[in-house]
Amino acid sequence: MDREERQQPAIGRNKPKQHGERWKVLSYLMAVYDFAAVVFAWFAALWGRYDFKYSQIPEEYFHVYQQFILPYAVITILLLGLFRLYRSLWKYASVSELGRLVVVCAISAAVHVAGIAFFFGSTITHGRMPLTYYYVGALLQFLLLAGVRFAYRLLRYEVRQHVQQSEALGRVMLIGAGDAGQMILRDMNATYRPEDRVVCVIDDDPNKWGRDLEGIPVVGGRDDILVNVKKFSVNKIYLAIPSASAVEKRDILDICSQTDCELKQLPGMYQFLSGQITVAAMKEVSVEDLLGREPIRADMREVFNFIHGKRVLVTGGGGSIGSELCRQIAAHDPEELIIFDIYENNAYDIQLELKNNYPNLKLITLIGSVRDSRRIFQVFHTYRPQIVYHAAAHKHVPLMEDSPCEAVKNNVIGTYKTAYAAMVHGCERFVLISTDKAVNPTNVMGTTKRLCEMIIQCFNTKIKEGKAAELPQLFTHMGFENADKDGTGRVFQNIQTEFVAVRFGNVLGSNGSVIGVFKKQIARGGPVTVTHPDVIRYFMTIPEAVSLVMLAGTYAHGGEIFVLDMGRPVKIDTLARNLIKLAGFTPGVDIKIAYTGLRPGEKLYEEKLMAEEGMRKTENDLIHIGKPIPLDYDRFLVELQALMDAAYHNRSDIRERLMQMVPTYHPVDIKPSASVETPPIAADISDATEAHFAADEIPSPAPAEAPQKAAG
């Protein structure tokens, strides 16, 4: 160490030491006080016994007091030290310190009685001092010793209360006068939080009204929330009812959201049972809490038995639904998980996450498009997946209105190509992820998803009828993926693939979700854009939806359209207003709401089933099955090939073709056109395909030497 280093830190080293020994000085001063308090307590007891007249105290009693009090006081100080009462942090003094002080005073009082009897019993009347001397002396000693110790905490509490009243920025209404509410109050009192102060408590139990919780008045039930928010100038509301159901929380939060207050709540019963009831444990109220629906907890044992040890492929595995599928599949111990996505960033993200969380998982991540027949066939030929979850799709309604041919290429033809590859490569089950927008669609995206459902039903019907060979192989180029290479048709024998679809509504937090859009608009200061004040949608969280999708897949026997119970619909306008309130703003004042009108293809509400489909139950009350609508599959397959040709030629009449194929499609600005021609039904459906062209390229006439049947 050089000279400067030796000189400079000297002062710095002494300061912590001096500060650290400050408590010892305070302990010495406390001991001096205790000594004086003990001496005075017993003198006051003797003095009071004789009406506070010094001259009336018998000389023999006063002589004993003088002889005994000093050694007794020393003994008391030693007892206080033995019980570590000079090491306590008295600003945090609690029942523990009080209990030890009671024990010390009891022991010392016993010593006082025994000492006088032993050393002075023969010199005084009756061998003892007056009984009131002992009782009052012991009591005064305890009060003087305890008073100075707890006076600091009491004074500190009063000062804190005064500061909170004068400086508090947060005037809190606490909802819940039960154990959790009491723990929150105690935590706030124990922690110096001048920024927050509970001013009133709400509880639905009438027996608690008009009473106090930790000194705070319980002013009424939920119906009194709005009145008392104004009365007490409340700007924060804490919901501390961890045992409340989702519906009960929703009803209370609906009332609270009518105020401008910041809302927080305890997460749930786990924190209560584990003793984690603190202000720090409070969380922001989320939009999911305002939906008022109990979280869906599916029994996943059947899913585990279904997926365990299987090779599973997820198309669109990097998307919001696809990535959650991958997470839940990985948790069910598959033999191999294949992620297939066209967007490499999303695929890479879920790959890193799964490798980190499931280091023993055999994971394959592939980049490619479901529109590319050769790539799809290569994937199925190489990895032979036994279960396919087909989540790859274009889902954005307004964008698909502007690019309808792309929606057909990706959603319809991509689904057909993937389903065909699954069928001829021995896949056991193919699960299509569909949407409630497929019901009576008013937009291109919903119509293409309805066509995907029809494709699934077509595949299932043809397979069950033993006519899998009649399904044309729709590809847009010649290649090794031709299924019936030898022309014998053996590849179509003993097909066992079961095709099903699962239909559900909007999911919270998905890519492009309206909630994400609203949050960005609120962060920018508004306005929040809502298409129509009356538009409603069904919502479910991504994990819930995926759990039910996987569970529905285990119920499949082929051809079903499973429909998930999404609960009650939610008004988008209400959702937007709640999000604004949760952000601490006033709708229409701080953040404006602008109504922009329904976008092309949008409708006010989404149905879950078409009226013709009907509904029947499954083993799970949240999963239903729609009855398939009768369909001329031969004609449908011919029209599908013509639709593919029109899409790859980017024909302008694509919507008219969609209207012919999906009678329930009713766009608001399109009328059926008589110019659309439907190709005749060929004797051999596979002969109807006349074009073979590279994926995503404009079709060109097939070479003359190309065998038409193989091209199908």
480 falls in which pLDDT band (50, 70, 90)?
A: low
List where CATH 3.40.50.720 sits in the chain.
Answer: 168-285, 301-480+494-508+539-569+607-626
Does pTM top 0.75 for this prediction?
no
Does position 584 have pLDDT exceeding 60, yes or no? yes
Which range, of 160-164, 248-252, 545-549, averages the lowest pLDDT? 160-164
Q: Which fold has domain 168-285?
A: Rossmann fold (3.40.50)
Model pLDDT for residues 39-59, shown as the tens digit of each residue: 999 999 999 988 888 888 888
Better-scored residue on pLDDT, 11 or 152: 152
Element (H, E) at 98: helix 95-120
Report the amino acid identity of residue 374.
Answer: R
Does position 342 have pLDDT exceeding 90, yes or no? yes
Does position 337 have pLDDT exceeding 80, yes or no? yes
The CATH number for 301-480+494-508+539-569+607-626, chosen from 3.40.50.720, 2.60.40.10, 3.40.50.2020, 3.90.245.10, is 3.40.50.720
Better-scored residue on pLDDT, 690 or 399: 399
Backbone angles phi, psi at 245, to 5 degrees: -75, 165
Does position 529 have pLDDT exceeding 50, yes or no? yes
As a whole number, mean pLDDT of residues 404-422 equals 95
C-alpha radius of gyration, the chain, whole number: 40
Does position 470 have pLDDT exceeding 80, yes or no? yes
Which single residue is written with the structure tokens 């009063």? 158
Does position 402 have pLDDT exceeding 80, yes or no? yes
Model pLDDT for residues 415-447, shown as the tens digit of each residue: 999 999 999 999 999 999 998 888 888 899 999
Better-scored residue on pLDDT, 40 or 611: 40
Does position 15 have pLDDT exceeding 50, yes or no? no
Which range, of 291-300, 427-436, 545-554, 646-655, averages the lowest pLDDT? 291-300
Q: Is 333 left (phi over 0), alpha (psi -120 to 50) or beta?
A: left
DSSP-based three-state secondary structure for 260? coil
- In whole angstroms, how far apart are CA 373 and each of 27, 84, 137, 483, 500? 85, 82, 99, 11, 21
562 falls in which pLDDT band (50, 70, 90)?
A: confident
Residue 111: predicted pLDDT:
92
**Nearest residue to 642 (alpha-carbon basis) of 697, 685, 674, 684:** 685
Calculate the average pLDDT of the chain.
Answer: 79
Name 409's Cβ contacts closer than 8 Å, sequence gap at least 6.
371, 644, 647, 648, 696
As a whole number, mean pLDDT of residues 367-377 equals 93
Looking at the chain, the whole-number percentage of residues with pLDDT higher than 70 is: 77
As a whole number, mean pLDDT of residues 161-168 equals 51
Element (H, E) at 708: helix 708-711
Name 666's Cβ contacts closer than 8 Å, sequence gap at least 6.
440, 441, 442
**Nearest residue to 625 (alpha-carbon basis) of 551, 544, 546, 564:** 564
Model pLDDT for residues 103-125, shown as the tens digit of each residue: 999 999 999 999 988 888 877 87
Residue 447: predicted pLDDT:
95
Looking at the chain, the whole-number percentage of residues with pLDDT higher than 90 is: 34
